[in-house]
Amino acid sequence: MKEGRRWLEIAGVHLVLLVASAAVLYPVLWVVRLAVSPTGRLTEAGALPIPKEFSLQNLSDFIFARDFYGRPIFFIQLGNSLLVSGAATIVGLLFALSAAYGFSRFAFPLRRAGMRTMLVSQMFPAVVTAVPLLFLLDALGLFGTTAGLVLIYATTSVPFSIWMLKGYFDVIPKDLDESARLDGASAWIVFTRILLPLVRPGIGLTALFSFMSAYNEFIMASVFLDDVTAYTLPVTLQQSVGGFDPNWGLFAAGSLVLSIPVVLVFFFVQKQMVEGMTAGAVKG
């Protein structure tokens, strides 16, 4: 009797997991199907994401595309995307780390209000800030430049990053700071030698978030960039389905290519995250 119920339980759990996995994977498989079918038409499809014909034409078209002047436009844009996201991540993290340390460890007026304000700033959709940002960047002479886009991505990721990192700083016992202070360490030594190594998992996770949101960002990039060679990949991707005869196959191939760096980054950061988490607690 008991044995039977156990089996039923296992079967039930697996059924739920299978349905959930299918729901998540179905659209992804559809994209794969579109990417490898030569016509790239949505109308030919059945319910199952299985291609009738198989071809890598879309993938190679997307990757080896050349512009009017014969430049390898995909590689230029991939470079843009990686540069912008990477730079935005690093700049954003540098600000967020020091700010999170301050918010977590020092008492100062308006500390709570500051944290709340940053949370509120996350509640506005990106479009709302697009126009003022456009004027700001124009005034700074950064309109249409990679540096301008880095600045935007870095600043928009900072509030969320501070919130996340502050959580990681908060769980590190204050005893460690105090002990280091008694040992003669300055705030800078405490920050760099004691706390930073301990928030490494948090840094990994925050970096991943920052990188992904910059890498996937489309609206700002499409508003600010006006030169094809400065485009990031999401902008190109959108343009590949423009016009009267959208080539969904090309779009799907582009989507797949676009997700590879993110998957790679996730893979490496995740490994580091797990390492960091097992680094050991203070006691117990």
Q: Which residues bind other proteins (CB under 8 A)?
A: 173, 175-176, 178-185, 189, 194, 197-198, 279-284
CA gyration radius for the chain?
Answer: 24
Residue 37, Ramachandran bin (φ over 0: left; ψ between -120 and 50: alpha; else beta): beta
CB 150 within 8 A of CB 84: yes
Query: Measured from the CB atom, is 152 or 198 closer to other proteins?
Result: 198
Query: Measured from the CB atom, is 172 or 237 closer to other proteins?
Result: 172
In our burial notation (b when 16+ CB lie closer than 10 A, e otherwise), range 184-200 reads ebeeeebbeebbeebbb
CB 31 within 8 A of CB 252: yes
Look up residue 193 and give its DSSP letter.
I
The least CB distance from residue 193 to other proteins, in Å, is: 8
Q: For residue 4, how far is the Cα from the chain centroid?
A: 45
Query: Measured from the CB atom, is 134 or 185 closer to other proteins?
Result: 185
The least CB distance from residue 90 to other proteins, in Å, is: 22
Distance CA 110, CA 86 (A): 32
Query: Measured from the CB atom, is 47 or 182 closer to other proteins?
Result: 182
In our burial notation (b when 16+ CB lie closer than 10 A, e otherwise), range 48-59 reads ebeeeeeeebbb
Query: Measured from the CB atom, is 260 or 279 closer to other proteins?
Result: 279
Query: Measured from the CB atom, is 41 or 200 closer to other proteins?
Result: 200
Q: What are phi and psi of 66, to 5 degrees?
A: -125, 150
The least CB distance from residue 209 to other proteins, in Å, is: 23
The least CB distance from residue 278 to other proteins, in Å, is: 8
The least CB distance from residue 273 to other proteins, in Å, is: 15
Distance CA 121, CA 126 (A): 10
Handedness of CA 159, 160, 166, 169 (dihedral sign): negative
The least CB distance from residue 268 to other proteins, in Å, is: 20
In our burial notation (b when 16+ CB lie closer than 10 A, e otherwise), range 94-110 reads eebbebbbbbbbeeeee
The least CB distance from residue 198 to other proteins, in Å, is: 6
The least CB distance from residue 204 to other proteins, in Å, is: 15
Query: Measured from the CB atom, is 97 or 233 closer to other proteins?
Result: 97
Query: Measured from the CB atom, is 76 or 196 closer to other proteins?
Result: 196
